[in-house]
Every structure is written in C-alpha cells, then in structure tokens.
Amino acid sequence: MRANLRLGVVLGVLLLVTLSVALIQCAGKASTKTDSRGAAYADPKSCMQCHKDLSKSYAHTSHFNTSKSLTDHQLPNGLKADSSVFVFNESLKIRVEKQADGQYQTAYWNGKQQRSARTDVVFGAGAKAFTFACWDGDVLKQLPLSYFNEIHNWANSPGFPLQQANFDRAIVSRCLECHSSYAEKRFVKAGSLAVTQEFDQKTLIYGIDCQRCHGPAAQHVTYHQENPNDKQAKFMVRYDTLTRQQKVDVCAVCHSGNDREMQKSTFGFKPGDTLSRYTLPFGNSSNTPDVHGNQANLLALSKCYANSAVMTCTTCHDPHKKEVTGKLSFAQKCITCHKTETHNYCKMAPKLGAAIDTKCIDCHMPAMPSKLITYQATAAKQVSAYYLHTHKIAVYPDQTKQIIAFINQH
Ligand code: HEC
Ligand code: HEC
Ligand code: HEC
Ligand code: HEC
Ligand code: HEC
Ligand code: HEC
Ligand code: HEC
C-alpha cells in the first residue's frame, strides 16, 4: 500500500515535471532569449524598450563595465601589450605580450619561457585598476599582473607573492557575486583532498545588469508590454516603499566588505531582502571597516547617517549615471543638509571663503590608504598604497591642516 502510494507520487511528480518542461519550452519559444538566472528574469536587453535614456546612461557606468569577456582579445581602454616587463628579480620577469590568438602574461626564467596565460576576462571598469583572468578548462584563474591607474603601469596583483609568478590562484564565485550578475558554480575533486570551483561558462552574465540590483523583471516586462497605458510600476519592487536599511542593503550587498563569511550566495539577493540573512553572525572579522569595499559600514559610523533618518547611498550617488569625480557636485549634496541658515554649517566657513566648496570632501571624507590592498611596482622595494575616500564623514584634523596649508600656498 505504502509502496503503491509512493509509486503514485513518483508518477505524479514525473507527469508534472514533463508537463512543466513542455510549458517552459513553449514559453521559451515565445520569448526571444532565456536568461541563465531562470524564467523569472527578462531578457536584459528588454529594459531598453521602455527605459531608454536610463539604459543608455547606465551602459557607461563602472557597475555595468565591472567585468567583461575579452572575446575580441584586446585589452580594455587601449592598454597595450608589450608595453611592460615586470621584473621580480634578475632571473624572473613577466611580460605582457601579444600572441597570435590574444594578449598573454608570460613568465620568463633567465630568458626562458616558463608559464603563459591568456587574458580571457577582465575585472574592474578601470576607475583605479584592472585585474585579469584566464580560463583553464572551466576554472577561472587570476593572472599575476594587474594594471593600476595611479602609477600608469602594471604591478603584481594584490596579495600575490613577490618571489614567484603565480598562475594558479582560482577566482571563486564570491568575486563574481560582486563583479558580475550571475554564474553557476560546481565543485570538483582535484586530488584526494582538494576541491576546485568550476563555472558553467554559458551561465555567466558579465557586468552588473539592471536585474542584479532590481531583481527579476520578466512579469514586469510582460505586464507593461500588455498594458502600455499603465504608468505605475507593476511586478517590480518599488524602491520608495523600502525601509532605510533595506534601501542601503540594495548597495551593501556588495559594499559592506569582502572579509565576511557568507551563509549563501548573494546572487539571489533582491531589493527588500535583509542582508544579514546572507552573512554569518560572526562574519565581519574587523571592527574598523576598510576603505576598500566597505562604504556601508563606514557610513553607518558617521553622525550624518546616525542622526538623520533619510540618508542612504543614493543621497549622494545616482546608480544610473557614470560617476563624476567632481568634488563640487558632492559639496552640493552636503549643503542640502548643512547651511548657514540651519546653523549647522561648517565652523571653518569664515576662514575658508570660496575654497570651501571644492575642498569639502578632502577635509571630511579624505582619501585614505586601504589596509587590505597594496601593490608593488616592478623591481620596487616600496609598496604602493591604494587610496579610497572614507565614508566615515567626520572632522579630520590632520587632513584639515594639510588642506589649509595647500589653500594658503595657492
Ligand atoms: C513595456 C515597458 C517596460 C519594459 C520593457 C520595462 N519596464 Fe520597467 N517600468 C515600466 C513602467 C511604465 C514603469 C513605471 C514608470 C516609471 O517608473 O518609469 C516602470 C518602472 C520601473 C522601475 C521603477 C520601480 C520603482 O522604484 O518605482 C524599475 C526599477 C523598472 N521599471 C525596471 C525595469 C527593468 C529592470 C526592465 C528590464 C528587465 C524593465 N523595467 C522593463 C515599463 C517597462
Ligand atoms: C552586485 C554588486 C554591487 C551592487 C549591488 C552595488 N555595487 Fe557599487 N560597485 C560594485 C563594484 C564591483 C564596483 C567597482 C566597479 C569597477 O570600477 O569595476 C562598484 C563601484 C561603485 C562606485 C564607484 C563608481 C566609480 O565610477 O568608480 C559607486 C559610487 C558605487 N558602486 C555605488 C553603489 C550604490 C549607490 C549602490 C546601490 C544603489 C551600489 N553601488 C550597488 C558592486 C556593486
Ligand atoms: C564583497 C564584494 C566584492 C568582492 C567579493 C570583490 N570585490 Fe572587487 N570591488 C568591489 C567594490 C565595491 C569595488 C570598488 C570600490 C572599492 O574599492 O571600495 C571593487 C574594486 C575592484 C577593482 C578595481 C576596479 C576599478 O575600476 O578600479 C578590481 C580590479 C577588483 N575589485 C577585482 C576583484 C577581484 C579579482 C575579486 C576576487 C578575487 C574581487 N574584486 C572581489 C567589491 C568586491
Ligand atoms: C547599482 C544598482 C542599480 C542598477 C544596476 C540599476 N538600478 Fe535602477 N535604481 C536603483 C536605485 C537604488 C533606485 C532608486 C533611486 C532613488 O529613488 O533614490 C533605482 C531607480 C530606478 C527607476 C525609477 C526611478 C528613476 O530613476 O527613473 C527605474 C525606472 C530604474 N531604476 C530602472 C533601471 C534600469 C532599466 C536599469 C538598467 C539599465 C537599472 N535601473 C539599473 C539601483 C540600480
Ligand atoms: C541627509 C542630511 C545630511 C547630508 C546630506 C550630510 N549630512 Fe553631515 N550631518 C547630518 C546630521 C544630521 C549631522 C549630525 C548633526 C548633529 O548631531 O548635530 C551631521 C554631522 C556632520 C558633521 C559633524 C561630524 C562630527 O563627527 O562631529 C560633519 C563634519 C558633516 N556632517 C559633514 C558633512 C559633509 C561633508 C557632507 C557631504 C559629503 C554631509 N555632511 C552631508 C546630516 C547630513
Ligand atoms: C554624503 C554623501 C555620500 C554618501 C551618503 C555616500 N557616498 Fe559614496 N562617495 C561620496 C564621495 C564624495 C565620494 C568620492 C568621489 C570622488 O572621487 O570624488 C564617494 C565615493 C564612493 C565610491 C568610490 C570610492 C572612491 O574613493 O573612489 C564608492 C564605491 C561609494 N562612494 C559607494 C557608496 C555607497 C555604497 C554608499 C552607501 C552605503 C555611499 N557611497 C554613500 C559621497 C557619498
Ligand atoms: C579645510 C578643511 C575643511 C573644509 C574645506 C570644510 N570643512 Fe567642515 N569642518 C572642518 C573642521 C576642522 C571642523 C571642526 C571645526 C570646529 O569644531 O571648530 C568642521 C566642522 C564641520 C561641521 C560640524 C559643524 C558643527 O556644528 O559642529 C560640518 C557640518 C561641516 N564642517 C561641513 C562642511 C561642509 C558641508 C563643507 C563643504 C561645503 C566643509 N565642511 C568644508 C574642516 C573643513
């Protein structure tokens, strides 16, 4: 009896599976392209149809360009191969060089070629740096050299050894959770103890797309295509209905540190979700958030954030526009809350005169070196610092002194 029941259940499930496969196939024929994230996701190109201006401006952002497959085998931003040789020591060098089928990083030991790998994938839109990776089967491996704008040159990738050329560091899915929109991984045994992470390459969606931030939109697209006169967003999480923490979490999912232990992949994170459900409680290893990648926790330490109910990341940043590094436009944002009339303007204002607006950020959100990322240029003994603006908005007496000295000189 129980066996029969079980058989019945199994058959029923099988029938359902067959039916739903048939349905999916039918639906698949109607839509132009299926998304590797599943049927709930719309063709990423479809947003263009109704959100044209926004989609066009978004295409220029660092988010959209934060990872790419170098299918044309060109380096990004007109970077040239053969422009550099990275010298570890007298015997060991790495050349960035062009070969018949692409751009390579090749290690030479006393002039003899050792290891060589092609730059198949780039990480970073190049605001500060580019890091490269190659496909070794379905394993993605980081290349030993990265390019840094600050020095206009190649240097050893952050955290890489200085005595040897490492071509074997795997890029794991955590990188892609912040630098891409989706990738399916699988674990394979590599030897008796080790396990490697492989990716299903055809599921990989490079760059951060609209649905990575806004969540699945297939129903939204279908509904609005069928109801062109409805100007109210349907089947889409409305940002203005979220709590402040939920709003910040939309960004904090990638901007609250990469030193956290995660419970599960953040690829499934949607607006309205709570980020703390994705991290382990004892996750954050450090009490002083680093300026690299941890804007959310730094901002939370600011009085501006703690003492105002409305401040979020979008108070100062427009997620759909390429970031302009004009400090002046940011000072305008500060002035929405800090004015002479409201008696909470800068006490230094009388002393600073007109210079105040252009230096607001330098004094209150100064650029500071990351403790997590440093790099070493070719044959240099000295380590270069990697600077980012701190999001702990506060009074910094040392920076103030430097800026005042600078203003007085000019
Ligand atoms: C057939 C038209 C149509 C298509 C295609 C479409 N949308 Fe929309 N969308 C709308 C309309 C209409 C609104 C409501 C008016 C507005 O906010 O622009 C809207 C609003 C939105 C909102 C605002 C939600 C809020 O906070 O109020 C988001 C986000 C959004 N769409 C995302 C997307 C994404 C992502 C895609 C592509 C996957 C997409 N839309 C494709 C018609 C469309
Ligand atoms: C899926 C992960 C992810 C999410 C979600 C995300 N970011 Fe980012 N953000 C990144 C990565 C990765 C970079 C580095 C991009 C690059 O330069 O390659 C970045 C860069 C930035 C930059 C620097 C831009 C520049 O031009 O240098 C700003 C500002 C920023 N993010 C703000 C936000 C805000 C605001 C939100 C929420 C509305 C947000 N981010 C959500 C991953 C994310
Ligand atoms: C938790 C999210 C997160 C993870 C994980 C992460 N990054 Fe990033 N990454 C960021 C953010 C945010 C930025 C830009 C702002 C900053 O540095 O704070 C960034 C910046 C970068 C940049 C510089 C981009 C530019 O335009 O200047 C590179 C290159 C980069 N990351 C590569 C990697 C690689 C490779 C990995 C994996 C080994 C990785 N990142 C892991 C969030 C992340
Ligand atoms: C980095 C995360 C992020 C990405 C990527 C992103 N958005 Fe948004 N979007 C937001 C946030 C946050 C808001 C709410 C802004 C606010 O109200 O302060 C928003 C608001 C919107 C709105 C309604 C308000 C407006 O500005 O018109 C639409 C429509 C929209 N997004 C569509 C898109 C489309 C289409 C794409 C891709 C081309 C996209 N978004 C990519 C974060 C993002
Ligand atoms: C949404 C409103 C808002 C915005 C925008 C804002 N602040 Fe504030 N800020 C506040 C509030 C509220 C306080 C706390 C004042 C108090 O407690 O008396 C504060 C405090 C400060 C303080 C004193 C900090 C301390 O530790 O004593 C400084 C400095 C400051 N803000 C600078 C800035 C700068 C610079 C910007 C622009 C980058 C900015 N704020 C943007 C609301 C804001
Ligand atoms: C009070 C204004 C303000 C708020 C709120 C704010 N930022 Fe920023 N952010 C700035 C300024 C100013 C810069 C420096 C821009 C420049 O290079 O001129 C910056 C730079 C960045 C950068 C690039 C880092 C660098 O130094 O190049 C990232 C990433 C970023 N912000 C993310 C965020 C995230 C995520 C949030 C929310 C947790 C947030 N910001 C909230 C003002 C703000
Ligand atoms: C040359 C560096 C410098 C510049 C530029 C500067 N500040 Fe300040 N700011 C300071 C210092 C130092 C203090 C603390 C002064 C004190 O307590 O006597 C301060 C105090 C403040 C406070 C706290 C006021 C209070 O009531 O305690 C706010 C808010 C503030 N600044 C906002 C701004 C804004 C907004 C800008 C740009 C429009 C700006 N500051 C430009 C150095 C600077």
Residue-wise pLDDT tens digits, 175-211: 999 999 999 999 988 888 888 899 999 999 999 999 9
Q: Ligand 2, from 130, 212, 255, 260: best to mutate by most atoms within 8 Å of Cβ?
A: 255
pLDDT reported for residue 340: 80
Residue of the nearest CA to atom 9 in ligand 7?
346
- Nearest ligand to residue 210 Cα: 4
pLDDT reported for residue 284: 54
pLDDT reported for residue 27: 38
Residue 400 lies in a domain: yes
Residue of the nearest CA to atom 23 in ligand 5?
394
Q: For residue 141, what are the CA distances in angstroms to 1, 117, 166, 168, 170? A: 55, 9, 10, 6, 4
Comparing 356 with 299, which gets the higher pLDDT? 299
Atom of ligand 1 nearest to the CA of 44: 38
> Does position 31 have pLDDT exceeding 70, yes or no?
no
Tell me how far apart the alpha carbons of residues 96 and 107 are, in angstroms, rounded to a whole number.
9
Model pTM score: 0.93
Question: Does the CB atom of residue 358 touch ligand 6 within 6 A?
Answer: no
What's the mean pLDDT in 394-399? 96
- Tell me the CB-side half-sphere exposure of residue 114, using CA atoms within 13 A: 15
Atom of ligand 7 nearest to the CA of 357: 38
Task: For tokens 């590094």, name the residue.
Answer: 325
> Does position 314 have pLDDT exceeding 60, yes or no?
yes
Of 172, 244, 253, residue with least CA distance to 215: 253
Highest mean pLDDT among 67-76, 96-105, 171-180 belongs to: 171-180
> Does position 3 have pLDDT exceeding 60, yes or no?
no
pLDDT reported for residue 8: 46
Strands 92-99, 139-148: pairing is: unpaired
Residue 365 lies in a domain: yes
pLDDT reported for residue 152: 87
Question: Does the CB atom of residue 171 touch ligand 3 within 6 A?
Answer: yes
Residue of the nearest CA to atom 5 in ligand 4?
210
Residue 75 lies in a domain: no
Tell me how far apart the alpha carbons of residues 86 and 103 are, in angstroms, rounded to a whole number.
15
* Single-letter amino acid, residue 380: A
> Does position 45 have pLDDT exceeding 90, yes or no?
yes
Residue of the nearest CA to atom 23 in ligand 7?
346
Total domains in the chain come to 1
Residue 251 lies in a domain: no
pLDDT reported for residue 42: 97
Residue of the nearest CA to atom 31 in ligand 1?
233
Determine whether 364 is exposed, middle or buried from the number of CB atoms within 10 Å of its CB (0-12, 13-18, 19+).
Answer: buried
Contact 378, 154 (CB under 8 A): yes
Q: For residue 375, what are the CA distances in angstroms to 30, 360, 387? A: 51, 29, 12
Residue 393 lies in a domain: yes
What's the mean pLDDT in 277-294? 78
pLDDT reported for residue 13: 44
Residue 13 lies in a domain: no
Residues 8-28 pLDDT 10s:
444 444 444 444 433 333 333
The secondary structure of 123-191, three-state, reads: ECCCCCEEEEEEEECCEEEEEEEEEEHHHCEEEECCCCCCCCCCCCEECCHHHHHHHEEEEEEEEEEEC
pLDDT reported for residue 118: 95
Question: Does the CB atom of residue 311 touch ligand 5 within 6 A?
Answer: yes
**C-alpha 302: how far from its chain's center?**
23
Whole-number percent of the chain with pLDDT over 90: 63
Of 138, 119, 143, residue with least CA distance to 190: 138
- Nearest ligand to residue 368 Cα: 6
In a 3-state reduction of DSSP, which class is residue 117? strand
User: Domain containing 336: what range?
Assistant: 287-410
- Output the CA 229–ligand 4 centroid distance in Å: 21
Residue 172 lies in a domain: no
**What backbone phi and psi angles, to 5 degrees, belong to 326?**
-85, 120
- Output the CA 33–ligand 3 centroid distance in Å: 30
In a 3-state reduction of DSSP, which class is residue 376? strand
pLDDT reported for residue 175: 95
- Output the CA 293–ligand 3 centroid distance in Å: 7
Give CA angle at 134 (129, 136), nearest 5°.
155
pLDDT reported for residue 217: 97
**C-alpha 133: how far from its chain's center?**
16
pLDDT reported for residue 62: 96
pLDDT reported for residue 110: 94
What's the mean pLDDT in 378-395? 87
Residues 118-172 pLDDT 10s:
999 999 999 999 999 999 999 999 999 999 988 888 899 998 888 889 999 999 9
- Output the CA 352–ligand 7 centroid distance in Å: 10
Residue 176 lies in a domain: no
Question: Does the CB atom of residue 56 touch ligand 4 within 6 A?
Answer: no
Q: Ligand 2, from 176, 239, 254, 388: best to mutate by most atoms within 8 Å of Cβ?
A: 254
Question: Does the CB atom of residue 366 touch ligand 3 within 6 A?
Answer: no
pLDDT reported for residue 82: 62
